[in-house]
Structure 1
Amino acid sequence: MSKSENLLAVIHLSATAVYVVVGNVVSATDIRIKGVGEVPTEDFQQGQIKHFDRLKSSIRQAIIQAEEMANCRIHSVWLTLSTPELLSHNGFGAVDVEQGVVETQHIVKALSLAKASVLPNTHYLMHHCQQGIFLDNQEQMVDDAIGMYANKVTVMYHLMMMPVASRQNIQKLIQACDISIDHMLFDAVSSAEYSLMPEEREQGVCLIDIGASSTSICVYRENKLIFTHCIAEGGNKVTMDISAELNLTMMEAEKLKIQRGTVDTRDVDPTRFETFARVGMADEATISMLQLAQIIEARYIEIYRIIFQKLADEGLMDYLQRGVILTGGGSQIRGMVRFSKRLLEMPVVMSNPHDAITAYTHFGDDDKVKELNLRVGQRALQTAYGALLYSQSEQFKHSEKSSPEALEVNRPNRFSTLKHNLSNFFKSII
């Protein structure tokens, strides 16, 4: 591994697989994927560990896959996940500036005050995003106030929290794999970093990431994260509905959904029936394609009903000038965009590939490069890629100035510590 390479690793825990990616971060607009690991598992559902040892084994396997492809060792990671246990609030911390010049300590104290006002004793701050800073009585916010003159600084935040016990279980799991966690991100924010364009964030947009066991939501306005939420609804519920209504096994229902399902009932001939081979049975099932579509449609209507009732309750409906951006495996059902536009009566589009994410090509191994080129376009990895992008974002850089670690960085004679904190946490295989 070249000394000039800045490698960063991400673990994405999902309900269907563990994903590990290693990226060579050249710049915020140039991240080259060097290693990918993917191990199917159903041991992480709705933000909860269902079987500790099996999930630990899956994570280790995915890490080894990524390490071997990237020819490196992973010692610490950015972790991204979703959980319906998420609590989120917009908060602020106001701090007097005694000497008249804003310093790092004032920004750090502001986050501490913001947490104190909304963080229950039972919860842990998993992720925070700085929205902006007011100096004295000025009406316009600034992104970075350190070094500026003011008598009072008020820092606005979006705070994302999870139960302490859940955080401890996740930390124990990752540490059992001999890995430490550098940062933990809420999935929707990672996905948004990959999926949203600057003008969408500015004008107002809702990202909806439909996974297998949960659906994550975030809203941006004026380039600021103002809302996050997660519900215990996803693609698995669709499969369960099909299984129950058509008397199929879950495996059969999932296969039928993927191969022949659509959410757009207007696109289905009501007289169309198809035969479907049953596992271990001589007789085939005869399935009404309209009935199948109606089952799928009903569940997605319910998912949208829950989401948009929450958005309405929060007073956010008028903020969505750019409508909805869809991502996640559960959004890939046929007819999803047409159905969503008709139901929601607003712009709806699918997320597109991000130009900054490309394959690392300096292996001298054409097969490895070919595989990575395929992986770069894999939708299932977009959340992990988004975490890599977020690590280089202005949002993260501004938010980190509120973290207690920022005080360590700004103390004298701490250069070696800073260098370690910003290193890629990898050791080359010799």
Structure 2
Amino acid sequence: MDESIVVGIDIGTTKVCTLVARIEGERNLRILGVGIAPSQGIRKGNIIDLAAASQAIARSVEKAQRTSGLEITSALVSLAGSHVSSVNSRGVVGISGRVIDQYDVDRALESAQAVAIPHNREIIHVIQRGFTVDGQDGIRMPVGMHGYRLEVEAHIITAAAATVENLRQCVQAAGVQVSQFVLNPLASAEVVLTETERQMGCVVVDIGGGTTDMAIYIDGDVWHTMVIAIGGNLVTSDIAQGLRLPISQAEEVKKEHAFAVESAISADDVFTTRPFGEDQPIQFSRKDLAMITEARLEEIFTFVMQEIKRSGYDGLLPAGMILTGGSSLIPGIKDLASRVMNMPTRVARPENLIGLVDQLNSPAYSTSVGLLYWAMFLNETAPKTHRKPGPQINVNWDTIKNIFKNLLP
């Protein structure tokens, strides 16, 4: 495919979204193809039915190919799930007083990867956070500097190798090669964060159907990432049980009538729907629905707050929380989040898109669009994810045989 064409496949619990875009001018993306299909065989970021998941991905890819007129051979693919974990590591290498080049930076990052990672886990991202040259810290990029000792702070994100391989197999079954996996909140951050928020310190929280994905940014870099295995589907499930509705109907009720703050709803406000066992639609109080919604969302934000405190960075986030993902569309969620988290909150969505963007101006597509931005930055700069292959050694066996012949009597 043309180098200026980028493709992202966002595989979520609720939907699979394939986007094809062309890079135009300076960091502009024109959306050429959109393929959205209901997700199947995936729960909380994990594959539970390989065949069903492959078919859902294939349908999404086929729609994107049809609308763009391009054949999709490789793509960046989103990754989430409770199997994802992260650790901060430090790598140190000697320089001998000469000028630091990219090879030294690569060696330092490789040194940072020398942490004890179980054999059943795979490194997804190694993200450089900052460098120290001869004790001077806070250096953004040391290439071109003189020094004797180079240190790098790196954020290493790993995932269960079997889960990653299952996801790769599903995408390949749809006829597409995975060029790289990208963690959901890192993709979302590419489109929803401002440079000021990255520098000041903030947390991106992407509430999807099956998972709530979060990434803490401080001084412009990722400091902590986490995936919590609950999401908007739990709100739907509670509504289904509380009002005795089928799940599909509960999802519609959530989208049309739910509100995140019970006290903001009048006791006279009602809506009609038909629960199990009833011949005719009956009236329900929106206040009761808001009570169910508020309780579950409050629980999600409490988990997020606990994770931020556990990371130790809760006092370093003056820019607050940036909410995105499909569940952030519930009215009133911003006020609830601000109250529970006790920090500034805004709901963010992809902006400044051109091309086929009718559906994409929604928080539900932040990860999908973010994958395209991630692919664009990989095209124009050294990748944020450092996965350097081992040294390539070409062995000339004839030469080795001749050497041994000369040594033998």
- Name the TM-score, length of structure 2 as normaliser: 0.89
| Aligned pairs, number | 392
Aligned partner of 2:91 among 76, 86, 93: 93
Indicate the larger mover: 107-116 or 186-195.
Answer: 107-116
- Tell whether the 8 Å contact from 1:208 to 1:218 is kept in structure 2 after alignment: yes
Aligned CA RMSD, in angstroms, stands at: 2.4
The answer for the alignment partner of 1:424 in structure 2 is none
The answer for the alignment partner of 1:170 in structure 2 is 167
The answer for the alignment partner of 1:385 in structure 2 is 369
Aligned partner of 1:32 among 30, 33, 52: 30
C-alpha distance 375-405 of structure 1, shift in aligned 2 (>3 A): farther
Indicate the larger mover: 120-129 or 9-18.
Answer: 120-129
CA shift, 1:227, in A, is 1.0
The within-5 A match list for 1:156-195 is: 156-195=153-192
The within-5 A match list for 1:365-380 is: 372-380=356-364
Identity %: 26
1:317 equivalent to 2:314? Answer: yes
C-alpha distance 323-99 of structure 1, shift in aligned 2 (>3 A): closer
Q: Residue by residue, what CA displacement relative to the aligned partner does 1:142-171 show, whole Å, maximum 9, x if unpaired?
A: 22x334322121121111110111111112
Q: Distance in 1 between matches of 2:349 and 2:216?
A: 18
Q: Distance in 1 between matches of 2:130 and 2:358?
A: 39
CA shift, 1:55, in A, is 1.4
Amino acid at match of 1:167: V
Q: Point out which structure has higher relative CO (alpha carbons under 8 A, 6+ apart).
A: 1
CA shift, 1:198, in A, is 0.4
C-alpha distance 317-379 of structure 1, shift in aligned 2 (>3 A): closer
- Tell whether the 8 Å contact from 1:89 to 1:118 is kept in structure 2 after alignment: no
The answer for the alignment partner of 1:358 in structure 2 is 354
Q: Distance in 2 between matches of 1:291 and 1:378?
A: 27
Aligned partner of 2:303 among 301, 306, 317: 306
- Tell whether the 8 Å contact from 2:9 to 2:371 is kept in structure 1 after alignment: no
CA shift, 1:106, in A, is 2.7
Amino acid at match of 2:250: A
Amino acid at match of 1:151: Y
C-alpha distance 277-212 of structure 1, shift in aligned 2 (>3 A): same
Q: Residue by residue, what CA displacement relative to the aligned partner does 1:243-280 show, whole Å, maximum 9, x if unpaired?
A: 22222222222222122111111211134444322367
- Tell whether the 8 Å contact from 2:22 to 2:32 is kept in structure 1 after alignment: yes
The answer for the alignment partner of 2:282 in structure 1 is 285
Amino acid at match of 1:390: W
Q: Distance in 2 between matches of 1:66 and 1:309?
A: 39
Q: Distance in 1 between matches of 2:335 and 2:385?
A: 43
Aligned partner of residue 125 in structure 2, secondary structure? strand
- Tell whether the 8 Å contact from 1:28 to 1:392 is kept in structure 2 after alignment: no
The answer for the alignment partner of 2:64 in structure 1 is 66
- Tell whether the 8 Å contact from 1:216 to 1:229 is kept in structure 2 after alignment: yes
Q: Distance in 2 between matches of 1:89 and 1:34?
A: 37
Q: Distance in 1 between matches of 2:193 and 2:335?
A: 20
Q: Distance in 2 between matches of 1:40 and 1:394?
A: 29
CA shift, 1:378, in A, is 4.2
Q: Distance in 2 between matches of 1:87 and 1:397?
A: 26
Q: Residue by residue, what CA displacement relative to the aligned partner does 1:330-367 show, whole Å, maximum 9, x if unpaired?
A: 11111111222233332111104332x311xxxxxxxx
Q: Distance in 2 between matches of 1:200 and 1:94?
A: 30
Unaligned runs of 5+ in 2: 393-409
Indicate the larger mover: 38-47 or 264-273.
Answer: 264-273
Question: If you compute each CA radius of gyration, which structure gives the higher value, 1 or 2?
Answer: 2
Q: Which runs of 4+ in 1 moved over 6 A?
A: none
Aligned partner of 1:112 among 104, 110, 113: 110
Aligned partner of 1:44 among 34, 42, 45: 42
- Name the TM-score, length of structure 1 as normaliser: 0.85
Amino acid at match of 2:91: G
Indicate the larger mover: 45-54 or 374-383.
Answer: 374-383
Aligned partner of residue 370 in structure 2, secondary structure? helix
CA shift, 1:399, in A, is 4.7
Q: Distance in 1 between matches of 2:269 and 2:315?
A: 41
The answer for the alignment partner of 2:12 in structure 1 is 14
Q: Residue by residue, what CA displacement relative to the aligned partner does 1:193-212 show, whole Å, maximum 9, x if unpaired?
A: 01000001111111110000
Q: Distance in 2 between matches of 1:201 and 1:395?
A: 22
Amino acid at match of 1:74: I
Aligned partner of residue 227 in structure 2, secondary structure? strand
The answer for the alignment partner of 1:332 in structure 2 is 329
Unaligned runs of 5+ in 1: 360-371, 409-430
- Tell whether the 8 Å contact from 2:54 to 2:174 is kept in structure 1 after alignment: yes
- Tell whether the 8 Å contact from 1:104 to 1:406 is kept in structure 2 after alignment: no
The within-5 A match list for 1:173-252 is: 173-252=170-249
Aligned partner of residue 181 in structure 1, secondary structure? strand
Aligned partner of residue 182 in structure 2, secondary structure? strand
Amino acid at match of 2:253: L
Aligned partner of residue 10 in structure 1, secondary structure? strand
The answer for the alignment partner of 2:139 in structure 1 is 141
Aligned partner of residue 139 in structure 1, secondary structure? strand
The answer for the alignment partner of 2:381 in structure 1 is 397
Amino acid at match of 2:223: I
Amino acid at match of 1:166: T
- Tell whether the 8 Å contact from 1:111 to 1:403 is kept in structure 2 after alignment: no
Q: Residue by residue, what CA displacement relative to the aligned partner does 1:374-414 show, whole Å, maximum 9, x if unpaired?
A: 14424433212111112334899355584315989xxxxxx
CA shift, 1:113, in A, is 2.4
The answer for the alignment partner of 1:422 in structure 2 is none
